[in-house]
Structure 1
């Protein structure tokens, strides 16, 4: 998967009630008095024209999902299709849904050059433990990716991987598939979390209970890897000639629950 490394240059930073301003591609915010500046930022067009926008440092990741990319304001919280999460260096995930709140405003979208600009603020909840308030958030001309075939009228993203980990949205920054003569390995990761699926290269469509021969799933958090003790991988399509697979999954490890998994990956 292509990664875009985008340097961020701050033209002016104002403390208090004023805003942070940037004029080159970038992603930054105020985390309760701590300045967050991403050294890698990217947008991804998802299914049904939703967009995921991420800013990542060496050990943190801030994710915004907005249900549409039209200029306007989209609210977080409750059962909103738009949400925000912040994953800290310890793998703790603060989320706006369902108990937090906030908003993202798309102020500009350039479909020709494929970038988004906007602002955001939100309160994320680490259930039963802590809250985090993030404000004065700005993403400026963050590029978004998708793949288009000559026959497609609407662009499609061919690298899709979403899930929930212990009730929190998992929005990986890196998605990849590798296939050899016997198996397909699908890996999706953030700075501290990784989900990995193993599927036979000749897998037919249908449901496969975990664990079973040829099929496996693991979840890694901060270097601690646990395998699936129960669950399933459902293969919806496996096109060996085109080297493309899609499906759904859910599984339980000794200490975590992974649900609502969907993947569409080339290998």
Structure 2
């Protein structure tokens, strides 16, 4: 039955690809009724031995991660190592890793000569507390991927002032982060974004799992301007992924202080 489904998906895919030129890769889909088309597409092997295929244009990025290489149906959802992530023009991140996310990636052809993969995808992705998008009629055609393991050479350490991505809005104004740091102790991970004399800081337990966490003594957030520190009076930190081996963590956050409202927060960092 699954083989029949793969054949049907493949037939649908190649009908959809009638306008794609020979020997040209493609990565496209329909996002809430708006056509997305990548101007560049490629794939790579991750440290955890999953594979991520990325399509991007000048403003947006779509990433598909599957547990292995080869033809098959890869189910998406909060408890799956397969995932789809869309980043919009404003930097907002939608993921199938959040509650409500679901869908599937169907690899219809794996060409070892490239190596390349061809297939289709459809999914629902969530931006926690903000919005949900539906992606349909997605396809990737002969997307090349690098099958070598990424380097873990200690001679190329993480830049302590550029630990990854950290974005948010403060009082409805974009917080344009200039420095992102992420450090750990025996008990906590501290993630800080700095811009123009202001900082946002998150403190997360070193042994955190994925999930939604209300701010308390264990999960903390603060707004800092000069010597003034405003601790969060309420809020939430959402951890969507935490790899203790590779020391990577990502998620979202929102919180209130006495004088400020921090919203649309997202982080994706490597900590030391």
Q: Shorter-chain TM-score category?
A: 0.5 to 0.7
Aligned residue for 1:158, secondary structure, equals: coil
Query: Aligned-pair distance for 1:49?
Result: 2.8
> What's the CA shift for 1:127?
2.3
- Aligned: 1:157 with 2:150: yes
Q: Contact 1:146–1:157 (CA<8 Å) still a contact in 2?
A: no
1:136 equivalent in alignment to 2:148: no
Check the 8 A contact 2:166/2:193 in 1, yes or no.
no
Partner Cα separation in structure 2 for residue 35 and residue 210 of structure 1: 39
1:159 & 1:27 partners in 2: Cα distance? 29
Task: Name structure 1 gaps, 5 residues minimum.
Answer: 1-17, 148-155, 161-176, 200-205, 212-216, 234-245
- Once the two structures are superposed, the pairs formed by residues 91-240 of structure 1 within 5 Å of their partners are 91-97=91-97, 98-147=99-148, 156-158=149-151, 188=164, 196-197=180-181, 218-219=192-193, 226=199, 228=201, 230=203
Runs of 5+ consecutive residues of structure 2 not aligned to the other structure: 1-14, 169-175, 207-244, 256-261
| Alpha-carbon spacing, 1:89–1:220, altered in 2? closer, same or farther (3 Å) | farther
Matching residue of 2:33: 33
Aligned residues: 197
* Contact residue 125 and residue 132 of structure 1 kept, 8 A: yes
Q: Where do residues 46-85 of structure 1 align in structure 2 (5 Å cutoff)?
A: 46-85=46-85
Q: Note the C-alpha offset of 1:60.
A: 0.8
- Specify which structure has the higher proportion of helix: 2
Q: Which residue of 2 aligns with 1:15?
A: none
Distance 1:226 1:69, change over 3 A: farther
> 1:250–1:95: structure 2 CA closer, same or farther, 3 Å change rule?
closer
Q: Deviations over 1:203-262 (max 9, x none)?
A: xxx869677xxxxx54489x99845454699xxxxxxxxxxxx85155999854747x55
Going from structure 1 to structure 2, the CA distance change for 1:230 and 1:48 (only over 3 Å counts) comes to: closer
| Residue of structure 2 in register with 1:153 after alignment | none
TM-score (norm 2): 0.56
- Cα separation, 2, equivalents of 1:91 and 1:208: 30
1:44/1:185 Cα in 2 relative to 1: closer, same or farther (>3 Å)?
farther
Aligned to 1:89: 89
Distance between the aligned counterparts of 1:257 and 1:34, measured in 2?
24
Q: Secondary structure at the match of 1:47?
A: coil
Aligned position for 1:19: 16
Write the distance in 2 (CA, Å) between the matches of 1:146 and 1:263: 26
Higher gyration radius (CA): 2
Aligned-partner Cα distance in 2 for 1:128–1:46: 29
Cα displacement (A) at 1:111: 3.0
* Distance (whole Å) between structure 2 residues aligned to residue 159 and residue 58 of structure 1: 30
Q: Is residue 115–residue 143 contact of structure 1 (8 Å, CA) maintained in 2?
A: yes
Deviation string 1:75-129 (CA, Å, 9 cap, x unpaired) is: 1113111111111111222222231211001112223322221110111122233
Q: Report if the CA contact (8 A) 1:60-1:191 is conserved.
A: no
